[in-house]
């Protein structure tokens, strides 16, 4: 793991140095004001960009080891502060998307397995295939447009913490959670259907049925407990939907769309 992380860090660092352009010039260009060469040189020296690239890389690695990620050029705040103020939103969105995905995938996947090769099974499979085919950002845009066009409502542009107003926080995050969770529910639905079908063909399921157990008891007590093991363990991938943004935007729905 350590050589891999070091290799990725080195690759990203040097690729950013190979790209054309200068971050200091970009900063001053964003302000729209003229910056003399002396100011640009002073800024580069302050950031350590006037040093040799190997020395810059060593300084960067040493800062990462000390959890010192530097200072944001746009806000002037430490990078750790920029991450912390967005951590609540990112974790909450990941948890809500995971919950949405599980609530959609487990019932639909089980229903499709029980009603195999029926119209219900085909509808669920079409629903899951659509979730795999539709990108989350496109679905987010469609949701925004639908609310604007048909309900004349736009999600708030500011973020409200759950500790301040839980209702407002829920109304802000439920739509990006649906956009992100639907795509991941498509994967989980197909996985649930496959594992339930596999378990229903096992000998112990036939034995339970032969003993006279109700079909609901066979499904809930015996089949689902084993069928959901690979589904639940795979749900940790949902947290990859959570990406900490360091951009100055505070619109949670816009972040979900960019995701």
CA distance 169 to 172: 5
Taken in order 111, 114, 118, 124, the sign of the CA dihedral is positive
Q: Which domains does the chain have, with CATH numbers?
A: 2-65 (no CATH), 79-258 (1.10.3720.10)
Half-sphere exposure of 185 (CA within 13 A, CB side): 28
Output the DSSP codes for 80-145: HHHHHHHHHHHHHHHHHHHHHHHHHHHHHHHHHHHTTTSHHHHHHHHHHHHHHHS-HHHHHHHHHH
* Tokens 């729905």 sit on residue: 253
The predicted pLDDT at position 234 comes to 63
Best CA proximity match to 141, nearest among 1, 257, 12, 10? 257
pLDDT digits (tens, 9 = 90+) for 100-155: 888 888 888 888 888 888 898 899 899 888 888 888 888 888 888 888 788 777 77
pLDDT digits (tens, 9 = 90+) for 233-251: 765 444 444 443 433 344 4
Confidence band of 218 (pLDDT split at 50, 70, 90)? confident
Q: How many CA atoms lie within 13 A of 6 on its CB side?
A: 6
Q: Is the pTM of this model over 0.75?
A: no
Place of tokens 């003229």: 34
Q: How far is Cα 86 from Cα 239, in angstroms, rounded to an integer?
A: 15
Supply 139's token pair: 């679905």
């Amino acid at each position: 793991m350590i050589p891999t992380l070091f290799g990725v860090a080195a690759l990203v660092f040097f690729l950013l140095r190979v790209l054309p352009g200068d971050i200091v010039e970009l900063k001053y260009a964003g302000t729209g004001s003229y910056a003399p060469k002396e100011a640009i040189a002073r800024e580069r020296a302050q950031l350590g960009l006037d040093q040799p690239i190997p020395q810059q890389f060593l300084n960067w690695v040493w800062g990462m080891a000390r959890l010192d990620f530097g200072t944001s050029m746009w806000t002037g705040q430490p990078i750790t502060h920029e991450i912390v103020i967005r951590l609540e939103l990112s974790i909450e969105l990941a948890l809500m998307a995971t919950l949405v995905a599980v609530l959609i995938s487990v019932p639909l996947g089980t229903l499709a397995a029980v009603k195999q090769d029926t119209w219900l099974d085909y509808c669920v499979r079409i629903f899951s295939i659509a979730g795999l085919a539709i990108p989350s950002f496109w679905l987010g845009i469609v949701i925004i447009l639908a609310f604007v066009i048909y309900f004349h409502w736009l999600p708030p542009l500011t973020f409200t913490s759950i500790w301040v107003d839980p209702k407002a926080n829920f109304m802000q995050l439920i739509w990006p959670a649906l956009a992100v969770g639907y795509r991941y529910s498509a994967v989980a639905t197909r996985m649930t259907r496959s594992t339930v079908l596999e378990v229903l063909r096992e000998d112990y399921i036939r034995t339970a049925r032969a003993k006279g157990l109700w079909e609901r008891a066979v499904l809930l007590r015996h089949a689902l407990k084993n069928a959901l093991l690979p589904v639940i363990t795979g749900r940790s991938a949902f947290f990859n939907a959570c990406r900490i943004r360091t951009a100055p935007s505070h619109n949670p729905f816009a972040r979900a769309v960019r995701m």
